[in-house]
């Protein structure tokens, strides 16, 4: 059996499918492959790591019914080097042959008997404006933990009441967005890694179909012929409300781009000193310097509007940079209670967003 394929489209879908396979060497071999299912004029691709699933399809001509499992890495590399726009896919008993002009490459098949079935979510699909996801998820995802041993912190928490609250934390910082409920969004904890993959793909889409299964503890997002599924994290999210300060003693208002540049400048020295930068306020502005440097060395002064008590606060500069690079706006407002209490960061461009960073304790 041989079929003609648009190389660019097949390569694009195979790369996307490969993002959802199991990558650990100890994983079941079946989960390290992409399942290909051909039914006459449709070619479907399936992949999963058991936590998330992906399914897509593309139109073909003169196909016959066939199902096989392939290891995608070498095939993706091979297709990238082919210059022709169309390739021929031949299916043999123990392998597939991809031909283009005078070039021919053969790739072995994997056993596919134990490949998991695609989840079924019978709930009604609801339409989400992709703009909603593109605007809000980047503000949240960078604060989620990458520590797999703490699953409750490795997800994005959606809390649905009169309004929708989206929040993440890694124990050192926290991001929170409040948004209007445009659809029936349930309260749930979705893996941040899954949402990062989703966000990379949906940037150009106008609309996303969302569905949720309480029974299966799963969500799905569908954009045209591409479907993304994820299991929800079955853990309690920390009581984040307790982290948000209810009072402040100092308010600092800074130009965002100047602040970003100054943190980058001082980070040159802070990298050698536990990544710690110190912000010290007075009535004229903020002095920014690296920990354990001389009184007049390795520092810069930024003009700022400062109201309230003088403060001296230390931060991991990497946390400051991630916040400043991710957010948009002209000004940043910093609200400080004490040097050892959570510090609130806000941007003028989004009054419904706040970010919290825990200061670093330093010796006086």
What class does CATH assign to 2-110?
A: alpha beta
Q: Which residues contact 214 (CB under 8 A, 6 or more apart)?
A: 186
Measured CA to CA, the distance from residue 102 to residue 23 in angstroms comes to: 33
Helix (H, G, I), strand (E, B) or coil at 172: coil
Instruction: Read off the tokens for 42.
Output: 């449709």
Q: What is the pTM of this model?
A: 0.90
- In angstroms, what CA-CA distances link 352 with 40, 167, 178, 180? 50, 12, 5, 10
The pLDDT confidence band at residue 73, using thresholds 50, 70 and 90, is very high
Look at residue 304 in the predicted model and tell me its pLDDT.
96
Q: What is the mean pLDDT of residues 345-358?
A: 97
Domain ranges of the chain: 2-110, 126-238, 244-357
Would the pLDDT of 364 be above 70? no
Rounded mean pLDDT, 199-217: 85
Question: What is the Cα–Cα distance from 263 to 300, expressed in whole angstroms?
Answer: 9
Burial of 93 (0-12, 13-18, 19+ CB in 10 A): exposed
pLDDT one-digit tens code per residue, 174-185: 999 998 877 788
Q: Which two tokens stand for residue 304?
A: 């700022």
Query: Coil, helix or strand for 246?
Result: coil
What is the pLDDT of the chain when averaged over all its residues? Answer: 92
pLDDT digits (tens, 9 = 90+) for 49-69: 999 999 999 999 877 889 999
State residue 309's pLDDT score. Answer: 95
Does pLDDT of 357 surpass 80? yes
Measured CA to CA, the distance from residue 277 to residue 282 in angstroms comes to: 17
Residue 16: DSSP 8-state: H
DSSP state of 151: G
Q: Answer yes or no: same fold for 2-110 and 244-357.
A: yes
Q: In the CATH hierarchy, which top-level class contains the domain 244-357?
A: alpha beta
Looking at the predicted structure, is the pLDDT value of residue 295 above 80? no
Confidence of residue 25 (pLDDT cuts 50, 70, 90): low
pLDDT of residue 175: 98
Joined tokens for residue 37 = 């299912």
Query: Which band of pLDDT confidence, cut at 50, 70 and 90, is reported for residue 257?
Result: very high
% of the chain surpassing 90 pLDDT? 73
**How high is the pLDDT of residue 215?**
86
pLDDT in tens, 262-276: 999 999 999 987 899
Domain boundaries 126-238, CATH class: alpha beta
């Amino acid at each position: 059996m041989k079929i003609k394929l648009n190389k660019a489209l097949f390569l694009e879908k195979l790369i996307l499918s490969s993002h959802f396979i199991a990558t650990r060497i100890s994983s079941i071999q079946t989960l390290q492959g992409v399942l290909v299912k051909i039914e006459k004029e449709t070619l479907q691709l399936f992949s999963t790591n058991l936590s998330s699933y992906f399914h897509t399809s593309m139109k073909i001509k003169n196909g016959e019914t066939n199902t096989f499992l392939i290891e995608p890495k070498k095939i993706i590399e091979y297709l990238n080097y082919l210059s022709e726009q169309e390739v021929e896919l031949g299916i043999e008993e123990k392998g597939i042959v991809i031909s283009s002009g005078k070039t021919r490459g053969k790739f072995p098949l994997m056993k596919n008997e134990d490949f998991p079935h695609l989840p079924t979510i019978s709930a009604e699909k609801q339409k989400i404006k992709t703009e909603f996801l593109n605007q809000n998820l980047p503000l949240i995802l960078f604060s989620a933990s990458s520590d797999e041993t703490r699953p409750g912190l490795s997800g994005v928490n959606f809390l649905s009441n009169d309004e929708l609250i989206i929040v993440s934390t890694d124990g050192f910082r926290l991001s929170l967005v409040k948004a209007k409920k445009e659809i029936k969004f349930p309260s749930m904890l979705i893996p941040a890694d899954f949402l990062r993959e989703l966000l990379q793909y949906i940037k150009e889409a106008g609309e996303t179909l969302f569905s949720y299964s309480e029974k299966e503890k799963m969500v799905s997002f569908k954009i045209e012929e591409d479907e993304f599924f994820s299991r929800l994290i079955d853990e309690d999210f920390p009581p984040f409300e307790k982290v948000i300060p209810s009072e402040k003693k100092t308010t600092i208002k800074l130009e965002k781009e100047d602040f970003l540049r100054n943190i980058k400048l001082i980070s040159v020295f802070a990298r050698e000193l536990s990544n710690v930068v110190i912000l010290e306020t007075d009535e004229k502005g903020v002095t920014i310097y690296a920990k354990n440097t001389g009184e007049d060395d390795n520092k810069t002064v930024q003009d700022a509007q400062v109201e309230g008590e003088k403060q001296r606060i230390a931060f991991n500069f990497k946390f400051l940079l991630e916040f400043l690079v991710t957010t948009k706006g002209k000004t940043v407002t910093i609200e400080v209670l004490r040097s050892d209490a959570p510090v609130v960061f806000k941007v003028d461009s989004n009054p419904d967003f706040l970010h919290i960073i825990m200061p670093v304790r330093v010796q006086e």
